[in-house]
Amino acid sequence: MAATRWYWTPLVIGAALSVAGWSQQQRAPDWLAVDGTDWRQMDPAVRMAYVEGFLAGAAVGQAASGARDTTAVRVALENLKQSGRLRFPFGANVYASRVSDYYWWKNHLPLPTWYAFLEVNTTLGRRISDSVP
């Protein structure tokens, strides 16, 4: 019986240490709180995926405004794209490069990425509005 207790002790200690380590791991920041420091730590492929996700979300959000179903969203997306009225009309590589340039300035590092996207868009001559440019 004593041998059985000793057999389980390392397993219990290992499990306890694993749980303690897991609970102390840093969580990924909330997407609204991702800032320049986080941006600088991303690998280039991760940055590109982040930008593509941002652009896709912005486009769908714009197209879904007032849409009643997915067909209406699809039609609205096509219309926005063809008419050049997407709020973020440039390619992911343009935004990735410009956001990296934006975060080159150390005083910009605490600013969230969504803000950086808006600033970059403005410097590219695109303000956020639903009106035709």
| pLDDT tens-digit readout, 84-111 | 999 999 999 999 999 999 999 999 999 9
Q: In angstroms, rounded to a whole number, what is the distance separating the alpha carbons of residues 47 and 100?
A: 9
pLDDT tops 80 at residue 15: no
Q: For the chain, how long is the longest CA-to-CA vector?
A: 81
Tell me the average pLDDT across 104-124: 96
Higher-pLDDT residue of 61, 126: 61
35 phi/psi in degrees, rounded to 5: -125, -170
Instruction: Provide the 3-class DSSP secondary structure of residue 45.
Output: helix
pLDDT band at 25 (very low <50, low <70, confident <90, very high): low
Considering only CA atoms, which of 133, 95, 85 is closest in space to residue 116?
Answer: 95
| Mean of the per-residue pLDDT values of the chain | 83
pLDDT tops 60 at residue 14: no
Structure tokens at 120: 């970059």
pLDDT band at 7 (very low <50, low <70, confident <90, very high): very low
CA 101 to chain centre: 17
Q: In angstroms, rounded to a whole number, what is the distance separating the alpha carbons of residues 73 and 89?
A: 17
Per the DSSP assignment, residues forming a β-bridge with 112 are: 35
Domain boundaries, the chain: 31-123
Under 8 Å between Cβ of 61 and 117: no
pTM of the prediction? Answer: 0.73
Q: What is the pLDDT of residue 132?
A: 41
